[in-house]
Chain A
Amino acid sequence: MKVADADFALDRREQTVTSAVRDYWARVRGGELGALPSIFSLASLVILFTALRPETFLSERNIANLFVQAMSVTILALGLVFVLLLGEIDLSAGVTSGVCAAVMAKLMTEAGQPWYVTVPAALLTGLVIGTCIGLLVAVVRIPSFVVTLALFLGLQGVTLRLIGEGGTVPVRDEVIVALANDNMPIWLGWTLAVLCTAWFAASQLLRWRRQRRRGLARRPLGLVLAQIAVVGAALLGLTFLMGLDRAPSPAIVLNGVPWGVPLVGVLVITATFVLNRTVYGRHVYAVGGNAEAARRAGIHVTAIRMSVFMIASTLAAVAGMVDASRLNSVTPDAGAGNVLLYAVGAAVIGGTSLFGGKGRARDAVLGGLVVTVIINGLGLLGSPAYMQMLITGGVLLLAASIDALARRRQAATGR
């Protein structure tokens, strides 16, 4: 044993940015890719589509469009991250979002209920569906693949029954419609962006200082500052872009951050907090990494297994409502078709592993953006539907291959 490596040398030595970058690179080569694939593909896709459609792709209007389109994919993927962390799958998340949206829309049009009744009702519907899946998977121990495949079919029937063949239920409630169609006042957007940046910077720096004072393992200050700069630039840059006028005619002004964006932000931040900072989150990772070890540590594995399906289906309800808002209506095929594939693709492209134990809330955002850029870009190119299907399916396979290969590499290098 080398002397330099003994006695928690890495924890005691003040790490420099260079050594941290070297460690990071070693981890990447060992198969721990982190956010690299998603950031890399996002950058190359943006460059590609900008080159192919220089007028439209990066127009103010399309950028706002992108974010509105990305909202429901991201929320759905966020729920799936919890399920995937346990190495399980929820194939019914998409159609669950459809059922919940249908419940909300029906309650509004037929019972005349306001949003503060219909939204909880939709959330409750999601929770009930998630509880059923959870019971069947965690208690009865049917593979989640089978349970949710059955529900994938069954729940489409429910939506069809609720809405009726060929029917469409319009969504007119102002609050719901506002989610995807209205924008925050410019001042509010900036205030939120600045507050979030400041809060992120403060929490990161305070944590770093606390770790240094108590002599704990920590990242080098340079990296912390760089991360703060990146997050701040993203938040403020986005607010700026969304603040530009994107009205189709010069007669009116259309600008500001869509209301749905802060909603996604709150959900992602909450999920990050739950996964990284709470006992529950730690147990989710433990069950995903080694369920037997978790069980022996006294963790209630069945309860954890149930809970992730409940979270996924409830978030699916939110995604369904956001989509209903974007489309101003709910149709019998809401949440069917590619919706689930996009969401799983988003989570996996973002870096969440299909094998369980590895994944973060932010994966849903990064992967959600990648998937949306693909859909949106292909739409702008006017590619036929079959091409879009082929390409999106291919991208999911590619992401899953990267996941599997990274895992093999990790096993080979003992990480």
Chain B
Amino acid sequence: MADVADEKTPVLRLAGVNKSFGAVKVLHDVDFAVYRGKVTALVGDNGAGKSTLIKCIAGIHPIDSGQFYFEGRPVSISTPRDAAALGIEVVYQDLALADNLDIVQNMFLGRERRRGLVLDEASMEESARQTLSKLSVRTVKSVRQLVSSLSGGQRQTVAIAKAVLWESKVVILDEPTAALGVAQTRQVLELVRRLADTGHAVVLISHNMNDVFEVADRITALYLGRVAADVAREEVTSTQVVELITAGRSGDLGLASTAESM
């Protein structure tokens, strides 16, 4: 049995995951691992299967074959609740916040605190504010603001704070900086780094090489649903990663023969 505290044991590991939507095969034998205190960047071109992969991890899409290991144990994740129970939190590309609810209500959605029959609003509001302060969120006027009134960066922050609220072990961020300006991108990247430094295993999906090389410890490149490379950041250059993304290989890195996989 693997030692949980061991830095070398991935918190979450996927082995040989396959996933098709009808006739379209989106993931081919994907191996993927994330480590405690590390930011793993998941890169790949549009349609490479990044979002699909994390939706499988989150229990939204059932996988066709393959195995998940959590802290060394084989586990099955078939519903979002399974993923949440393991401490896996996902911040989706489309954020998935309910516009008609306020920040507190969104952060606790699906896991509301109760006192008997009644919602415990006071304790939820306090915890939400604490979490936001811990992440040094400075731009939110009121935690009782409706989410529809927030800016893109603020919404992203709320979504990340929501993931952190839950003593989560793995936090997955799907293109958190895609729609953000320079200053807000900086804030979110700092937040990502802080997540890893507080002991989370972080997965960052991004198309932006600057972002990836700024915060990532490891880089996993997907090419047409296959893992082209899984490397430490120091071992590669930005140019190599771009080649892995666009062609599936770069020098002796990458898929053996891309012609076959087409």
Contact = CB atoms under 8 A, between A and B. Distances in A.
Interface of A: 1, 5-11, 210-211, 214, 216-217, 277-279, 282-283, 285-286, 288-290, 292-299, 357-358, 410, 414-415
B84 to A, nearest CB: 6
Nearest to B99: A289
A278 B94 CA distance: 27
Nearest to A15: B142
B216 to A, nearest CB: 25
B138 interface: yes
B141 interface: yes
Interface string B147-172: 01100000000000000000000000
B118 A298 contact: no
Contact of B122 (A211, A277, A295): A211
B24 to A, nearest CB: 21
Given A7-B138, A217-B142, A297-B111, 5 more contacts: A9-B142, A285-B101, A290-B97, A296-B96, A410-B148
18 contacts: A1-B138, A1-B139, A5-B141, A8-B129, A10-B141, A214-B126, A279-B112, A282-B112, A283-B110, A285-B101, A286-B109, A290-B97, A295-B80, A296-B80, A296-B96, A298-B110, A357-B98, A415-B148
Contacts of B118: 277-278
Q: Determine the main DSSP class of A at the interface with B.
A: helix
Contacts of A11: 129, 141-144
**Which of B90, B122, B132, B139 has the most chain A CB atoms inside 10 A of its CB?**
B122
A216 B104 CA distance: 12
B224 interface: no
Nearest to A32: B146
Contacts of A217: 125, 142-144
Contact of A294 (B98, B99, B139, B142): B98
Contacts of B97: 290, 293
A296 B84 CA distance: 10
B117 interface: yes
Interface in B189-209: none
Interface string B94-127: 1111111100010001111010011101100110
Nearest to A215: B126
B213 interface: no
Contact of B98 (A286, A410, A414, A415): A286
B138 A6 contact: yes
A289 B100 contact: yes
A273 B227 CA distance: 51
A-B residue pairs, 10 tightest by C-beta: A297-B110, A289-B98, A289-B100, A10-B142, A293-B96, A357-B100, A217-B144, A297-B109, A298-B110, A290-B98
Contacts of B114: 279
B109 A292 contact: no
B261 interface: no
Given A278-B119, A279-B114, A415-B149, A286 B144 contact: no
Nearest to B126: A214
Given A285-B98, A290-B97, A293-B98, A210 B141 contact: no
A278 B23 CA distance: 43
A282 B119 contact: yes
A220 to B, nearest CB: 14
Contacts of B60: 296
A99 to B, nearest CB: 32
B109 A358 contact: no
A8 B138 CA distance: 8
A227 B118 CA distance: 23
B258 interface: no
Contact of B101 (A9, A286, A410): A286
Contacts of A283: 110
Contacts of B238: none
A296 B93 CA distance: 13
B107 to A, nearest CB: 10
Contacts of B139: 1, 5-6
B8 interface: no
A283 to B, nearest CB: 8
B81 interface: yes
A296 to B, nearest CB: 5
A282 B144 CA distance: 15
Interface in B127-142: 129, 132-133, 138-142
Contacts of A8: 129, 132, 140-143
Contacts of A289: 98-101
